Amino acid sequence: MKTFNSDVKSKGKIVGVAEFCVYDSVDEAVATLSEELCLELINVQTKTRSLNAVREGAQDKMGKKAVTSKAMASITPEEFMAVAGDPVRIRQLLEAKERQIKDELLTQGSEE
């Protein structure tokens, strides 16, 4: 498990710094957080991804933030675990997912 910090912004201004853990395995997360909390977090994220998928389907075009959000949501737990703790590899994975989404959008646009 590694600990990271991230600036917290509100209305474009940094209002604080959040500290969070990136776990090396599901077992480590369960041991640290509890099985109940892990299940709650999984269920919340599952709902969020479903809502985002519907939202994205209702949009004609996707902006940079939407592409990044969709790319993040498309990263599987296995893919994330393979790069967890390595910021360079995480960025590379995210950029590859963003390129894939942009390519899919271009393909869809040319078919219409």
pLDDT per residue as tens digits for the range 31-49: 999 999 999 999 999 999 9
Region label for 34, one of left (φ > 0), alpha (ψ between -120 and 50) or beta (otherwise): left
Tens of pLDDT, residue by residue over 38-87, are 999 999 999 999 998 887 766 556 788 888 999 999 999 999 999 999 99
